[in-house]
Amino acid sequence: MIPRQRNNPLGFPPARAVEHAAFHLRAAPETVHHLLLPVWRVEVEAKVTTAEPYQLIDRYLIRAVAEAGVTTPEGLASFLALDPALTRQALAYLTAVGHLTDHQGELALTPLGERSLEAGEMYTVKLGDRRIVYFDAWTGTPLPESYAERGPAGPSPLDTWTSPPALLAPDPFRPEAAEALAEPGVADPKALAWDVEYLLAHVVRTADGRHLVCTRPHRGEPDPVLSRALDGAPGCVSALAVASGDARRRFEEEAGRWLSRRSLADHRPHRDPGGPHRVRLAEDAWAENAGHPDLPPLGSVVVLRSGGFFQLWCEDPRARRRELRRRMDAFGTARPRDTETLRLQEFRFAALLDVQPGQK
């Protein structure tokens, strides 16, 4: 079901998810559903290695130990002509961060110190670094850091949402899933605590039964990790198949009501072979005095309450080219845009209207 909201916390309407699927991915969308998807909120602890430039004195001390074989504080102060107190202070720091060992006054480089000297950067290992990471609830795959940013459509506990319906997490969280976070600079990641939260999404179901999960961080484009995960969850796929069947059964009734409210009761959607349902109108239907209140622009995708949709269409390609120019004029004057942004947006509008970009 598509709720009627004055403010859309996702930041984009379900129509945009449908448009991207239909006219850019050519994925033959069938229905679109507004859902809460389960994700695991996990507190993860790991050893994190960071690199920074050496302080000048630290570098000379490390080199003196490694290359000149000077291994006592007194010898290093004399060899480098440094103040003994300053030398002891610097050596204490290098020992504390794990670059040197001190065995009865004899200094030696640790493996971390050797790695740092070879790389020319000072590595430090922070033990117990903690952060919040989100994992999809079906495969346990880590999600990008953008999902951890709190916002109106970000993951939240279920009791903070009043709508829409939620899909349930099928299995308990597997702590070993945190091991996937290991990478250069991040070692021994461990899951300390976890709980399920829910992420707002538009889910487009295609004619071949696949699902495209569109979330706020992706601005209306499908998230590949969540889309694959959802397709691999039989219970969720079954629930969406039922919702899609319900949307198809209600399509004619809901489309008829929508058109009647705009004085277009004598029009009905017709499906193009391999394409979307379309309501075909003459160009003058969009004139100011045409008597069709709240009629969206030519080319718009209209999403109905149960998740079905159709496109407002005009067979005249000249009318669609004029609509392309109108949309581009509005897009270009809304705020300053660079040339590449304008070019990409023109391609998006042109695909929606089935015309060639740049045509007059």
Residue 97 has φ and ψ, to the nearest 5°, of -90, 5
Grade residue 164 by pLDDT with cuts at 50, 70 and 90.
confident
With respect to residue 324, please indicate whether it lies within any of the assigned structural domains.
Answer: no
With respect to residue 277, please indicate whether it lies within any of the assigned structural domains.
Answer: no
Place of tokens 């489309």: 255
High-pLDDT (> 90) share of the chain, % = 70
Name which of 32-36, 144-148, 222-226 the model is least confident about: 144-148
With respect to residue 141, please indicate whether it lies within any of the assigned structural domains.
Answer: no
Instruction: Give the span between the Cα atoms of 80 and 206, in whole angstroms.
Output: 72
- Give pLDDT, residue 208: 92
- Which residues touch 36 (CB under 8 Å, ≥6 apart)? 158, 161, 164, 165, 166, 167, 198, 199, 200, 201
pTM, full prediction: 0.78
Instruction: Give the span between the Cα atoms of 208 and 205, in whole angstroms.
Output: 8
Average pLDDT over residues 126-142: 89
Instruction: Give the span between the Cα atoms of 271 and 114, in whole angstroms.
Output: 69
How does pLDDT run across 325-359, given as a tens digit for each residue?
Answer: 999 999 988 888 889 999 999 999 999 999 998 76
pLDDT for residue 158 is more than 80:
no
Could you give the angle at the alpha carbon of 139 between the alpha carbons of 138 and 141, nearest 5°?
120
Question: Range of 69's domain?
Answer: 54-112
Grade residue 5 by pLDDT with cuts at 50, 70 and 90.
very low
With respect to residue 67, please indicate whether it lies within any of the assigned structural domains.
Answer: yes
Residue 136 gets the label, from left (phi > 0), alpha (psi -120 to 50) or beta, of beta
Mean pLDDT, rounded, of the chain = 90
With respect to residue 82, please indicate whether it lies within any of the assigned structural domains.
Answer: yes
- Give pLDDT, residue 1: 44
Grade residue 186 by pLDDT with cuts at 50, 70 and 90.
confident
Place of tokens 């290695």: 49
pLDDT for residue 142 is more than 90:
yes
Structure-block tokens of residue 31 = 């229905």
Query: What CATH number corresponds to the domain at position 95?
Result: 1.10.10.10
What total number of domains does the chain contain? 1
With respect to residue 70, please indicate whether it lies within any of the assigned structural domains.
Answer: yes
With respect to residue 335, please indicate whether it lies within any of the assigned structural domains.
Answer: no
Question: Higher-confidence residue: 289 or 33?
Answer: 33
Can you give the C-alpha Rg of the chain in angstroms? 30
Place of tokens 């050797």: 114
> For residue 235, what are the CA distances in angstroms to 140, 170, 220, 240, 241?
16, 8, 24, 9, 10
- Which residues touch 205 (CB under 8 Å, ≥6 apart)? 29, 30, 31, 32, 33, 211, 240, 241, 244
- Give pLDDT, residue 58: 95
How does pLDDT run across 52-95, given as a tens digit for each residue?
Answer: 999 999 999 999 999 999 999 999 999 999 999 999 999 999 99
With respect to residue 151, please indicate whether it lies within any of the assigned structural domains.
Answer: no
